[in-house]
Amino acid sequence: MAEKATPTLTPPPVPRELERVPLVLNQRGFGWISDRVTAITEGSAPFWWWAAFIPSVLLLGLLGFMLAYQITTGVGVWGNMHPVMWGWDIINFVWWIGIGHAGTLISAILFLLRQRWRTGVNRAAEAMTIFAVMCAGIYPALHVGRVWFDWWLFPFPNSNGPIWPQFRSPLMWDVFAVSTYFTVSVLFWYMGLIPDLAVMRDRAKTKLRQFLYGLFALGWTGSNRHWSNYEKAYLLLAGLSTPLVLSVHSIVSLDFSVSQLPGWHTTIFPPYFVAGAIFSGFGMVLTLLIPLRKICRLEEIITMRHIDVMCKVTLATGSIVGYAYAMEFFVAWYSGSAAEQFHFMNRALGPYQWGWLPMIICNVVVPQLFWFKWFRSNLWAVFIISIIVNVGMWFERFVIIVIGLHRDFLPSNWGYFKPTWVDVCTYLGTFGLFFTLFLLFVRFLPMVAISEVKGVTPQADPHHPLGGAGHVERIPDDNEGATSV
């Protein structure tokens, strides 16, 4: 760096407490970042990768078997039965789609808020989003019963009249919300990947890798004229994804709150669902990244500070979720509605109390440990709490859906829901799909946004001494801007 070590500028000393914690530790160079991030994608796959990949593929096979069984037999193999007609399928749909939300929050909202630490984790979180939405998408597609009519959900011209989808139903809104969410997440992810695919192309040793990475890098050269358009497009996609991610779980919650059912028919659902989604998503990001940063030796890029900040987001969203739980009880009491009051008493004290208690413990009580620095800086504690968070969020959806449905206005209409082995195995199978895709992503694509991380290092800043500032005679004073080219 210091080829002409005659600094003409001496930056004023910064008080120690105001010093910025570097985002990449140990002042690593640009090349080191490329080498370290791509290390896992080069050479033969390490043992741990196979040890994780083979069970994942087996679980994926289980999913394939379960899907074939359900499609050929019918959804009667599920535990869904009157009056609980939404069971594990919708619980798992909402759960998976909620997990996806942290990826978009990190990639879009934190980008708009200029949280530069996001660069270390955004790629993996976005991948998590895409794979989680894929897992989620399986459930409504199957829930319709006749999978071969799924295309009726989309407004295709057809020879049946033509009969069109009925857009006054929130379920149709959901189709548009989830499919848009998936598509835009893929676009955003892919656009972020283009410069990094060029990194992979330029490092590739074999012809096949050169060809494939070169094909998907679209001929990226790192031209500044390109970067200029690219950064604008990235900003726009972040700006578009922000209202998108807030709308997706809002619309999912409208599936419930537009109905007349006690416990579902409430205005608190959209913000409450979004907060819960981000809460569970950060739980999943932590679950995935804590082992990965260790195994892939990325501790200097995904630092303890990243973990700390993500724990704080989990704490904040978990507290919002806890507030929403309390507010639901308050509103039930304050509304004076007997059905509403009965529903919430039934939640806490009814036959499904075993579902309500873990929800409260996992989502409201346990995340409060993140107030203490010891828990935020102990990786085992963070890892375990992050899993507890997602267990709790699964129970939240169970509480909303099953407890909401099993006792409505008419006692003669009451029932008790039990899942079947098909429900359980399908759910396990979606983990197979998720982890298979995630491990393939880790092995074949850069799991940290290389060019973005380079861009937040001090030596990337032309006005920073490490970026070379002060090593040239002429200090730029004529930045009077754009003369057209």
265 near another protein, rule: CB under 8 A: no
Which residue from 138, 244, 284, 422 is in contact with another protein, where contact means CB under 8 A?
244
Instruction: Report d(CA 191, CA 408) in Å as an integer.
Output: 47
Q: Which is nearer to another protein, 2 or 349 (CB)?
A: 2
* First-to-last C-alpha distance (Å) of the chain: 31
Which residue from 236, 338, 349, 357 is in contact with another protein, where contact means CB under 8 A?
236
Which residue from 77, 187, 320, 387 is in contact with another protein, where contact means CB under 8 A?
187
Q: Which is nearer to another protein, 143 or 464 (CB)?
A: 464
Q: Min. distance of Cβ 197 from another protein in angstroms?
A: 9
DSSP 21-66: PPSSGGG--HHHHHHHHHGGGSSSPPHHHHHHHHHHHHHHHHHHHH
**Residues in 196-235 that interact with another protein by CB under 8 A:** 198-199, 201-203, 214-215, 218-233
Q: Which is nearer to another protein, 126 or 423 (CB)?
A: 126
**Site map (CB under 8 A) of another protein, residues 426-465, x = contact:** -------------------------xx-xx---xxxxx--
Q: Which is nearer to another protein, 42 or 231 (CB)?
A: 231
Instruction: Report d(CA 21, CA 224) in Å as an integer.
Output: 28
Residue 386: strand, helix, or coil:
helix
Residue spans of alpha helices (H) in 258-372: 269-295, 304-335, 338-349, 353-360
- Of 120-128, 163-171, 346-354, 359-367, the segment contacting another protein by CB under 8 A is 163-171
412 near another protein, rule: CB under 8 A: no
Distance of CA 309 to the CA centre of its chain: 16
Given a contact cutoff of 8 angstroms between Cβ atoms, the answer to whether 287 and 99 are in contact is no
C-alpha dihedral, 36 to 37 to 40 to 41, nearest 10°: -130
Count CB atoms within 10 A of the CB of residue 415: 12
Q: Which is nearer to another protein, 150 or 231 (CB)?
A: 231
- Of 98-106, 301-309, 354-362, 469-477, the segment contacting another protein by CB under 8 A is 469-477
List of E strands, 99-193: none
Angle at 420 between CA 416 and CA 422, to 5 degrees: 150
Q: Min. distance of Cβ 223 from another protein in angstroms?
A: 5
> CA–CA distance from 431 to each of 57, 90, 297, 323, 435 (Å)?
10, 16, 25, 30, 6
Which residue from 13, 31, 43, 336 is in contact with another protein, where contact means CB under 8 A?
31
Q: How many residues bind another protein (CB under 8 A)?
A: 85
Q: Min. distance of Cβ 138 from another protein in angstroms?
A: 20
12 near another protein, rule: CB under 8 A: no
Which residue from 21, 45, 85, 191 is in contact with another protein, where contact means CB under 8 A?
191
Distance of CA 361 to the CA centre of its chain: 23
**Residues in 99-158 that interact with another protein by CB under 8 A:** 155
Q: Which is nearer to another protein, 443 or 471 (CB)?
A: 471
Which residue from 49, 152, 176, 329 is in contact with another protein, where contact means CB under 8 A?
176
DSSP conformational letter for 362: I
306 near another protein, rule: CB under 8 A: no
> CA–CA distance from 344 to each of 14, 18, 188, 326, 360 (Å)?
55, 49, 41, 11, 14
Q: Which is nearer to another protein, 13 or 462 (CB)?
A: 462
Which residue from 56, 92, 247, 436 is in contact with another protein, where contact means CB under 8 A?
247
Residue 359: strand, helix, or coil:
helix
163 near another protein, rule: CB under 8 A: yes
Q: Which is nearer to another protein, 144 or 469 (CB)?
A: 469
